[in-house]
């Protein structure tokens, strides 16, 4: 075999490029100058949980617009020069990192199951050998990463990622501001505030002066309470100012990044980048996946997400406060008895009390004694994002990890990082931001220590680099955990450079290609769903291509973040009639807000010769919070089972796609889905035609900010059905009214009766 040179094996991770400097002409640089994807339709409510704190900071300086000389946003073509030092490039060679190649999960014989996980005379090596012998794409000789399509000796390892493109990347990213503290801030106001803040920075204001100014105006405008304004300015102001001093962006570009497409889809060629795929042909596509065998071995999997444990929750405190998080002693006294926080939680803006978390875990341990492994998809700290410290967030992480270890001894747990684990929230600097005071290593290093209770030593390098990892769970079955905060549009470090932060996606391709060669199936876990509006459009688009390329390898994805019980579909980018992936979005433990606490159980195709590693079925379990507070004791119960509730013969992508079509056409079925989406909350609002379009569109859109591409046909059908329903109701009402008349009314002077006049007017 031809030896691999150091230059061939090494690659450069994303680095900053000074504005105005031309891109490198290195062959490893991928330049994408094509127009962006079709402009998406702005949506206002995919996730009402996120707090658009950057808008708050920008809006705090809005009153200064009286100074006409301080309105650079009116002259966006004039951009001052930014003088700063480009950080040194780093080298991180993907294929030199340790990989998990030994099965991490030991099968357990559960007496309450009707089958054995493995026959007693079957070893892991023998089982793996059988999988290899029956794989569809078996070749006569072994293959290596990667093939050199140019010929020669054939086997070389070209670099996996291109160097970073330009530093400027802010484009669309739809921010969910509905029901958040920033809900009244408009795009125009954002532009004015951004321009004003940029002006103050350029005029030489110190960081302390800027933060004090932000605090004063936030308070004077009653945007929030004084302590929230002060906390936000202190926590977010320093990093925001640091970033804005190092980018050269117009207010239009900045607000397009912060608010999203609703504030104009500003095209920026420096924001366009593409991952590199190895020169390996995609395996032939099957017409449809096989249905998992009945009565075959399976894994029982627990999915917990968005715990948002609040150590300061206080029963009887004010649950109806005017801050982003209530139900604390600091929230004040309740004005009425109805405003008091419940014992087990509250439907208003309150997170999860410790007693509720304890009770849920005890219930799970007692009810589901045969759990094989756990998926834990992040967001452990509460929503007091103006009041958090690194020390407190780390303490919550340590406490919850300790609790999980004690409640589920010996059960493997596969965690993923949420956006609330950092302090401040959503702040996840890429590896090239390595200054001690702003580096994210304080969090990633501790995560490595805590997660190593369940994960093999081989994951240390990638966890400490970017909080992502890959673990071989069983022979032929791998779990990959992604850090979705590198697609988070609230992570303003991406303003500096969003080109594949931490080279995570290129590493992801390497892992999937290795899995494809080894005939492994992969489950992907993360926090923010890739199709959610909180995910950067360019990142989501690249991820979508990866899933399409490796559709025969990735058999399921699992996320949280939205707090709802839902799912996302993936399709062949060139054939929307071919569904090729499904992402399960698990319910939140936190009731924040208007929700019942919940968790999910999956049944995954297990160890046998014909295994698909598909999800066979899933159950959602909830606790009725209203009844728990009323009677003083919570009862957890199974809300529904997917296949039985929706009459699905399997949970393949094609089956979920069929369900989507039925949800569009069958109003009764949609209302059932809507009930489960809200976890049967009594506080759920009614859902009109616009609500229905949004929810079904969210399910179809595994690629963010591309609703026009995925949803036009669905929205048209719903509009048509809504119109028919309205007319049917209207005419039915008129007919009933006519039948109820006891006598014929006298004709009018124009020859029409009153009923006839109505009909004529409607027709006209």
Residues in binding site: 306, 308, 379, 419, 527, 561, 563
For 454, the token pair is 């369940």
Q: Are 725 and 61 in contact (CB under 8 A)?
A: no
Nearest to 8 by CA among 148, 152, 149: 148
At 622, is the secondary structure helix, strand, or coil?
strand
Question: What is the Cα gyration radius of the chain?
Answer: 27
Q: Got the DSSP string for 462-515?
A: HHHHHS-EEEEEETTEEEEE--GGGGBTT-GGGGT--SSGGGHHHHHHHHHHHH
Q: Compute the distance between CA of residue 218 and CA of residue 233 in angstroms, rounded to an integer.
A: 9
Is residue 308 within 8 A of residue 592, CB to CB? The reply is yes
Q: Where are the alpha helices (DSSP H) in 221-376?
A: 226-244, 251-259, 354-367
Residue 125: CB atoms within 10 Å: 10
CA pair distance 269, 167, nearest whole angstrom: 11
Please give the angle made by the CA atoms of 144, 149 and 150, to the nearest 5 degrees. 125
CA distances from 119 to 102, 130, 608 (A): 20, 13, 9
469 DSSP β-pair partners: 481
Distance in angstroms (rounded) separating the CA atoms of residues 739 and 220: 62
- Neighbouring residues of 19: CB distance < 8 A, sequence distance ≥ 6: 79, 81, 82, 166, 167, 168, 247, 248
| DSSP E strand stretches across 200-321 | 298-304
Q: How many CA atoms lie within 13 A of 713 on its CB side?
A: 9
- How far apart are alpha carbons 534 and 245 in whole angstroms? 24
Q: Can you say whether residue 570 is alpha, beta or left, with left for phi > 0 and alpha for psi between -120 and 50 degrees? A: beta
User: Contacts from 323-331 at CB under 8 Å and sequence distance 24+?
Assistant: 323/224, 323/225, 323/228, 323/349, 324/51, 324/180, 324/181, 324/224, 324/228, 324/349, 324/383, 324/384, 324/385, 324/386, 325/349, 325/350, 325/351, 325/382, 325/383, 325/384, 325/592, 326/350, 327/351, 328/384
Peptide bond into 433 cis (omega under 30): no
739, two tokens: 């039948």
How many Cβ atoms sit within 10 Å of the Cβ of residue 279? 11
Quick one: 30 exposed, middle or buried, by C-beta within 10 A (0-12, 13-18, 19+)? middle
Q: Which residues are annotated as a binding site for Zn(2+)?
A: 306, 308, 379, 419, 527, 561, 563
Interatomic CA distance for residues 215 and 230, integer angstroms: 5
With a CB cutoff of 8 Å and minimum separation 6, the contacts of 66 are none
Q: How far, in Å, are 63, 189, 190, 231, 491 from residue 59 at the CA level?
A: 8, 7, 6, 15, 18
Q: Please, which residues have CB within 8 angstroms of residue 530's CB and are 6 or more apart in sequence?
A: 484, 487, 539, 540, 543, 544, 559, 568, 583, 702, 703, 704
Residue located via tokens 């609230």: 490
Helix, strand, coil % in the chain, rounded to nearest 5: 40, 10, 50
C-alpha 374/C-alpha 377 separation (Å) is 10
* Cα 372 to Cα 378: distance, rounded to the nearest angstrom: 19
**Rounded Cα–Cα distance for residues 312 and 443 (Å):** 22
Burial class of residue 317, CB neighbours in 10 A (0-12, 13-18, 19+): buried
Q: Which of 645, 603, 638 is nearest to 114 (CA)?
A: 603
């Amino acid at each position: 075999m031809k030896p691999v040179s150091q230059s061939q094996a090494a690659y450069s991770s994303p680095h900053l490029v000074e504005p105005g400097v031309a891109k490198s002409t290195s062959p490893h640089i991928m330049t994408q100058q094509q127009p962006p994807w079709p402009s998406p339709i702005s949506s206002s409510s995919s996730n009402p949980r996120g707090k658009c704190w950057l808008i708050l900071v920008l809006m705090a300086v809005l009153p200064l617009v009286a100074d006409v000389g301080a309105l650079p946003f009116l002259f966006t073509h004039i951009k001052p020069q930014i003088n700063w030092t480009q950080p040194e490039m780093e080298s991180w060679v993907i294929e030199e990192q340790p990989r998990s190649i030994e099965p991490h999960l030991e099968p357990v014989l559960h007496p309450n199951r009707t089958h054995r996980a493995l026959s007693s005379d079957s070893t892991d090596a023998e089982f793996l050998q059988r999988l290899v012998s029956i794989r569809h794409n078996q070749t006569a000789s072994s293959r290596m990463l990667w093939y050199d399509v140019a010929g020669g000796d054939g086997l070389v390892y070209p670099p996996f990622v291109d160097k970073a493109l330009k530093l400027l990347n802010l484009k669309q990213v739809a921010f969910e501001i509905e029901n958040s503290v920033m809900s009244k801030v408009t795009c125009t106001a954002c532009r004015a505030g951004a321009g004003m803040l940029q002006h103050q920075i350029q005029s030489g204001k110190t960081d302390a002066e800027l933060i004090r100014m932000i605090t004063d105006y936030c308070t004077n405008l009653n945007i929030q309470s004084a302590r929230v304004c002060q906390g936000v300015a202190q926590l977010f102001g320093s990093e925001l100012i640091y970033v804005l001093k190092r980018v050269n962006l117009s207010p239009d570009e900045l607000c397009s990044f912060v608010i999203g497409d609703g504030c104009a889809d500003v095209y920026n060629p420096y924001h366009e980048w593409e991952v590199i795929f190895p020169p390996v042909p995609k395996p032939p596509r099957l017409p449809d996946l096989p249905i998992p065998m009945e009565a075959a071995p399976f894994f029982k999997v627990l999915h917990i997400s968005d715990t948002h444990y609040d150590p300061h929750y206080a029963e009887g405190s004010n649950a109806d406060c005017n801050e982003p998080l209530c139900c604390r002693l600091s929230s004040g006294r309740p004005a009425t008895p109805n405003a008091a926080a419940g014992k087990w939680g509250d439907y208003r803006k309150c997170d999860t009390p410790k007693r509720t978390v304890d009770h849920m875990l005890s219930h799970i341990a007692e009810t589901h004694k045969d759990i094989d492994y756990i998926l834990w998809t992040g967001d452990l700290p509460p929503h007091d994002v103006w009041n958090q410290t690194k020390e407190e967030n780390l303490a919550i992480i340590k406490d919850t990890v300790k609790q999980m270890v004690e409640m589920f001894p010996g059960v493997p747990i596969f965690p993923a990082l949420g956006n609330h684990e950092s302090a401040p929230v959503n702040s996840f600097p890429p590896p090239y931001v390595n200054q001690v005071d702003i580096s994210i290593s304080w969090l990633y290093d501790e995560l490595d220590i805590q997660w190593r209770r369940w994960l093999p030593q081989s994951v240390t390098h990638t966890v400490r680099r970017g909080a992502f990892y890959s673990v071989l769970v069983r022979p032929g079955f791998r779990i990959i955990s992604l850090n979705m905060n590198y697609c988070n549009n609230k992570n303003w470090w991406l303003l500096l450079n969003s080109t594949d932060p931490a080279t995570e996606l290129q590493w992801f391709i390497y892992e999937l290609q290795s899995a494809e060669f080894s005939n492994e199936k992969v489950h992907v876990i993360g926090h923010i769903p890739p199709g959610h509006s909180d995910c950067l459009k360019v990142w989501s688009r690249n991820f979508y291509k990866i899933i399409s390329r490796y559709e025969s390898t990735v058999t399921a994805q699992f996320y949280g973040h939205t707090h709802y019980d839902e799912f996302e579909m993936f399709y062949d980018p060139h054939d929307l009639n071919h569904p090729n992936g499904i992402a399960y979005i698990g319910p939140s433990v936190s009731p924040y807000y208007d929700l019942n606490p919940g968790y999910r159980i999956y049944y995954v195709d297990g160890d046998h010769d014909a295994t698909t590693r598909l999800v066979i079925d899933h159950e959602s379990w909830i606790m009725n919070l209203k009844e728990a507070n009323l009677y003083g004791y919570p009862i957890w119960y199974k809300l529904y089972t997917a296949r039985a509730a929706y009459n699905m013969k399997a949970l393949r992508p094609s089956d979920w796609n069929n369900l989507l079509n039925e949800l569009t056409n069958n109003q009764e079925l949609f209302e059932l889905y809507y009930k489960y989406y809200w976890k049967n909350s009594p506080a759920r609002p009614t859902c009109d035609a616009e609500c229905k379009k949004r929810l079904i569109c969210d399910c179809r859109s595994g690629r963010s900010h591309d609703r026009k591409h995925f949803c036009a046909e669905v929205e048209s059908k719903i509009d048509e059905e809504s119109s028919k329903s309205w007319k049917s109701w209207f005419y039915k009402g008129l007919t009933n009214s006519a039948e109820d008349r006891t006598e014929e009314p006298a004709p009018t002077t124009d020859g029409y009766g009153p009923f006839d006049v109505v009909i004529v007017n409607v027709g006209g």
